Chains A and B, each alone.
Chain A
Amino acid sequence: MTDLVLVLGWFGLFAPVALGAIGSSIGCARAGSAAIGAMLDTETGYGRFIGASLMPSSQVIYGIVIMFSLQRDPMTAEAAAGVFGVGVLAGVALLYVGIRQGEVLASAIVAAKAKPEIFGISLAPAAVLEGFAVFALVFALVLSGSIPG
């Protein structure tokens, strides 16, 4: 039983990084595909399209920060349950934000291609989603202080 709890603890420890990486990959791939398409149809603004498409990469960075804050040496059965809960839920939040950010960024890139003056404001929804990921990061850090070990 203790072994299973420890396994779950390690699972929760790496979940923010793994799920954050998956979210970032899907988000960047979606937004990047839109950026590549937009570049076929425009003569300028390549840099900002690609720049915007990289925004979801922050999810994996947040995941790494959460992982370090949850790390316990050694991992104990007392800490494992808390690490599992906080890590998995934070990871799911990062995964979801990454995917959705990719979608809104793809839309923003297409819209800004037709109307370049709205490029800045079209990134606002993605920035709001980023804010939600930051909430998940900050409160995961706060709660990690309450986990024994």
Chain B
Amino acid sequence: MAEGSFQYITLAASLPHLGALFSNADLPMSRYRLEERLSMLEDEDRRRLDRIAHVTSWPGVDGCDTDAEVVARFEAASRSVQAHPDLAAVVRERLETRMLVAALRLRRDGAADPAPVAAWGRTAIARAIRTNWSEPTFGLGRARPWLRAARALCAAGDHIGLERAVLTEVYRQIDRAADDHQFDFEAVAFFVMRFQLIERWQRYDATRARGRLEALLQSTLAGAWTAGNATPTGAGMAGSLSQ
């Protein structure tokens, strides 16, 4: 599909408004419906989009054994969209954000030196992390204000808060780049990337809820067992479910 093609206009116009990342509203369309709309793309565009969407989604680098492999995947994806500089920039920014968060976690876990960062390539961010390992925000706090909050959340062990801060930043990066694209390949790619973020957050919440429910059930069953041994009334069960 050529740039500025009328098909892009139809496709972009058929995609719903996604709204804010952490609003309680459900996704305005299902994954099935999204795939159906994306079938308007020509094969080559679809392949490029899938590559970008895959690498920027969480499971996309889940199977990577080494950091170098993750970096290589991102770089390959970025090269595949060289004709779309804004999109390539978002992919690179996404990798940089991952690097910064990973560096914060490494340091929190007690890494005394930036040795693992050597595998992250020769990007400016990797160099800044290596050079300023002892700096709270790797000397990047001014250019990336979100790092201060992320560092505090990471140090406090607030994983959900950190996840939220990172997703907010990534969403902002995409939003900023998407401002200049309404009816082109980039517009569609940015939509898919934002869709994935919201989908992931909602799934993340569901996972949390399921984990909490399981914990509650276990503690309830354990309480009932103990209470049953003492007095066979099962009276502790209602109390646990209301926790």
A residues lining the B interface (CB < 8 Å): 29-30, 33-38, 40-41, 106-107, 109-110, 113-115
- A30 is contacted by which of B6, B29, B37 (Cβ under 8 Å)? B6
Given A30-B6, A37-B14, A41-B13, 9 additional A-B pairs, CB 8 A = A30-B9, A33-B9, A34-B13, A38-B13, A40-B14, A40-B37, A41-B29, A106-B182, A114-B16
Q: What residue of chain A has the Cβ atom nearest to residue B37's Cβ?
A: A40
- B9 is contacted by which of A34, A41, A115 (Cβ under 8 Å)? A34
Which chain B residues lie closer than 8 Å to A106 at the CB level?
Answer: 9, 13, 182-183
Please classify how large the interface on chain B is, using the bins under 10, 10 to 19, 20 to 34, 35 or more: 10 to 19
Which chain A residues lie closer than 8 Å to B168 at the CB level?
Answer: none
Q: How far is the CA of A34 from the CA of B183 in the complex (A)?
A: 9
The answer, yes or no, to whether B7 is at the interface (CB within 8 Å) is yes
Q: Given that A106-B183, A107-B182, A110-B182 are contacting pairs, would A33 and B7 also be in contact in the complex, using a CB cutoff of 8 Å?
A: yes
A-B CB contact pairs (8 Å), 25 listed: A29-B6, A30-B6, A30-B9, A34-B9, A34-B13, A35-B13, A36-B14, A37-B11, A37-B12, A37-B13, A38-B14, A40-B14, A40-B37, A41-B13, A41-B14, A41-B16, A41-B29, A106-B13, A109-B13, A110-B12, A113-B13, A113-B16, A114-B16, A114-B17, A115-B17
B12-30 interface code vs A (CB 8 A; 1 in, 0 out): 1111110000000000010
Q: What residue of chain B has the Cβ atom nearest to residue A113's Cβ?
A: B13
- A110 is contacted by which of B13, B29, B37 (Cβ under 8 Å)? B13
The answer, yes or no, to whether B226 is at the interface (CB within 8 Å) is no
Return A20 CB to nearest CB of chain B, in Å.
Answer: 20
Question: In chain B between 129 and 179, which residues have their CB closer than 8 angstroms to a CB of chain A?
Answer: none
Q: Given that A40-B37, A106-B183 are contacting pairs, would A33 and B17 also be in contact in the complex, using a CB cutoff of 8 Å?
A: no
Q: How far is the CA of A107 from the CA of B14 in the complex (A)?
A: 12
Which chain A residues lie closer than 8 Å to B14 at the CB level?
Answer: 36-38, 40-41
Q: How far is the CA of A80 from the CA of B7 in the complex (A)?
A: 42
Which chain A residues lie closer than 8 Å to B29 at the CB level?
Answer: 41
Q: How far is the CA of A41 from the CA of B37 in the complex (A)?
A: 10
Q: Given that A106-B183, A107-B182 are contacting pairs, would A36 and B13 also be in contact in the complex, using a CB cutoff of 8 Å?
A: yes
Which chain B residues lie closer than 8 Å to A114 at the CB level?
Answer: 16-17
Q: What residue of chain A has the Cβ atom nearest to residue B5's Cβ?
A: A33
Q: How far is the CA of A37 from the CA of B12 in the complex (A)?
A: 7
Return B37 CB to nearest CB of chain A, in Å.
Answer: 7
Return A105 CB to nearest CB of chain B, in Å.
Answer: 11
Q: What residue of chain B has the Cβ atom nearest to residue A111's Cβ?
A: B17
The answer, yes or no, to whether B10 is at the interface (CB within 8 Å) is yes
Asked if residues B13 and A33 are in contact (CB atoms below 8 Å), the reply is: yes
Q: What residue of chain A has the Cβ atom nearest to residue B29's Cβ?
A: A41
Q: What residue of chain A has the Cβ atom nearest to residue B15's Cβ?
A: A41
Kindly list the 4 A-B residue pairs having the minimum CB-CB distance in the complex, ordered from nearest.
A37-B13, A114-B17, A37-B14, A33-B9
